[in-house]
Structure 1
Amino acid sequence: MSNTETALKETMTSIEGAVGVALVDFNSGMALGTLGGGKDLDLGVAAAGNTDVVRAKVRTMEHLGLKDEIEDILITLGSQYHLIRLMKGRGKSGLFLYLALDRGRANLAMARHQLKQIEAGLEV
């Protein structure tokens, strides 16, 4: 089990093409921890904006009567992938990991697999 800081560091170092990562509380929209980002990627703004994305998808699923869980949400840009992974497990509900990847350097399938493993080991 790893803490937030360790998990964010592992994400940035082990996932090829990682540009920035945040652990976000989607009840408040606040980032509980961030690493990476920069002038072109404000992780605080991204945390708040992606909270709206998660809330909208949860609401839509409720309206559709879907009784399933969101595993992750992928947003594909011209030069980046943005991956939102909802966390599951005791003490993790209401949280998601947000990962921005450089599309030219990242392997999306591997990034999803590695982020799932990091999420499983994260103790909040």
Structure 2
Amino acid sequence: MTDMDTALKECMTIEGAIGVALVDYTSGMSLGVVGGGKDLDLTVAAAGNTDVVRAKLRTLEMLGLKEGIEDILITLDSQYHLIRLLTGRAGKGLFLYIALQRNRANLAMARHQLRKIESEMEL
């Protein structure tokens, strides 16, 4: 099993990674952040994406869908922003958020690697 810091560092090895955060979507607070910088404030982005996760969960509930969210993709002109909800008991209410440079990232591979990292995380 992988601890949070190691998991976040592994996320940064994904091709095209700009930054990654582990976020509590009940509070909007980042539990850990790696990368980012002056062009991407991961704390602000993580808090904003909390609203995205909450909205999608509310929508599923209103629709009566008994589905879980695997991930949410936001495609920008030059970046992919990928949100992956944690599925383990200890990860309830948390998500991994990673920003990728679109011209360097392989989206299918990034999703695969993020799924693997999430499955090995121990909180």
Q: What secondary structure, in the 3-state scheme, does the structure 2 residue paired with 1:78 have?
A: coil
Q: CA deviation at 1:82?
A: 0.2
Q: What secondary structure, in the 3-state scheme, does the structure 1 residue paired with 2:39 have?
A: coil
Equivalent-residue separation in structure 2 for 1:10 and 1:74 (angstroms)? 20
Q: What secondary structure, in the 3-state scheme, does the structure 1 residue paired with 2:53 have?
A: helix
Q: Which residues in structure 2 correspond to 1:4-43 (within 5 Å)? A: 4-13=4-13, 15-43=14-42
Report what 2:82 is aligned to. Answer: 83
Question: Could you tell me the TM-score, scaled by structure 2's length?
Answer: 0.99
Q: What percentage of aligned pairs have identical amino acids?
A: 74
Equivalent-residue separation in structure 2 for 1:87 and 1:35 (angstroms)? 18
In the alignment of these two chains, the number of paired residues is 123
Q: What secondary structure, in the 3-state scheme, does the structure 2 residue paired with 1:91 have?
A: helix
Structure 1 unpaired stretches of 5+: none
Q: Which runs of 4+ in 1 moved over 6 A?
A: none
The CA deviation string for residues 49-96 of structure 1, in whole angstroms up to 9 with x for no partner, is 000000000001111111100000000000000000000012111000
Structure 2 unpaired stretches of 5+: none
Superposed CA RMSD in Å reads 0.5
Equivalent-residue separation in structure 2 for 1:102 and 1:70 (angstroms)? 23
Q: Are residues 1:69 and 2:71 paired?
A: no
Q: Which amino acid aligns with 1:3?
A: D
